[in-house]
Chain A
């Protein structure tokens, strides 16, 4: 309670300093903007009265969550194929870059929110395993000139269980199902757990995780501020928040190409490959409704994170935002 009050005071203080025009007109009257939902939550509980955006449509907040759930329920089976088709495989590079920026060390605990089919978690486990192998090799390599007794002492304890753990949390059971199937087919038996949970209300205690990631999921959350606050809560002090999301392309030529591709080609791909035009129409529209890099950086700072920065990939098509809980 005290923590949220502190955040509220901090946010209101920031608001008074920031100019109102910077909160772009297209976000003014929807949730997930300057006036944080937790403050309005204290005042009125009627989610049905407040409206938000679902792509270019206007819907009530209660309905948005339901509609988003339905979208991902429909696309879950073909989700990975569609990602490859829509981005021509480039989404793999974006996710690899996220892992490189993360640079997790053995023993780290990752919370992968909106992790769905597990792309980030599987990469995390691979990365950490590779790091561990490197460390082992270095340790044994440095013991070339020692006696046999010393060398056998230095060998790492084989019985020690894999410490790094990834928790995949998603609100949608179908996506988690697909993720579990992938894990089984890849032969991953330990190191990942699959949890159903809402990003706005995570089923975890405070100060649990070293790293929190949300890749291409936060724009589907109804109350983004709440998701950011929850991220702050569950991270350990010193923990890192990382968000990979579609963002604004600054170059006008690239932007018009990107728009034409998004609206002309992607729904067609959705219809042909997944048999679902409307879900992919929603997905490209929701990208347009998400705040741009600077604004989202401000929102992350509002939630209490420090040293917030962002990196643009592919000219701003995707942005990686990162912040620390200190």
Chain B
């Protein structure tokens, strides 16, 4: 039986879903789910796991609470094994708890797969429990809302097309105060780079659009933004288990690049979006690889520094540490690129331990932060290990080159009173790179 946690959080989305859920629908979905559990990857995983508990320490949730209900295998026990044991005949209380586990106690960070001797992919299993909850209509309110937005507007934040265009123009305007003739080209056919951002950038952090565009402008990159659907590379549908919507939005994103005939897609400093485009989206669409190269902002910055297109003229003096976002470091081996950048721009770079692909997740990723503010307290409590990690470095600045990490770590810094500030890479880069005289605005 699944154990209750010390948190008594009532999520209106989950409750409403449970209320509406009919007995027939429940039985129909669960019996199909049980059939999936009994074959292929699931069956192999269930019949291979030797119940050794060696994956426990891999999970920041377990490390923070030291309660086995939060261990990776503990989460599988409370959901998958239990559904199998009861042959799918579970009640609504069970579903409520399963949704809580899958959506709010697992970040799908896949660190546990590196620690399980069998490499059992518990992140995948939890994502499939989310899929089950999605089919049952029992999903936390906030993340379901972002998914609805994806389905309706093709972006995560209900941003209308004119709002998007307007925001970019506004940022172009702001940028012109610093850089002469600065402009952000829309829909430039045949550009080298299509830069795509996540929906929350125009909504909450528009200055990031200006900053990254400034950087590309200084470096002389031939870049463009799409003005139409496909500009948003984010994907909460993947985390809800709504793979049908996931497919639609990934297709729109790739198609935008194809329509603009760009050479490659560069994605903003976001981890989940990168996972969605680089790892999940193409497979959802039935493609083995991407129709067009996809890189992350970290790779672009690395290239620009390495090739000398961006020149570092001073270094950050304060001690800086780096949080490795799971989705681009464990998810794409970008740790070494990020470290190159850090070495170039910081005088005093301090590693967290463990780091690189062994780094702990921020506990915000995997859609957990998107489950909304009511889950915030639990999410932050579930990552005291990250707070300790940051504290031990003694750094004054934490670099978080991912949106979810950035927000999650901001919450951790505030709650545990760490007294450090967290920044995106682009913010640091703009402080240290040379702006050629001919681009400087004269006042």
A is bound by B:
no
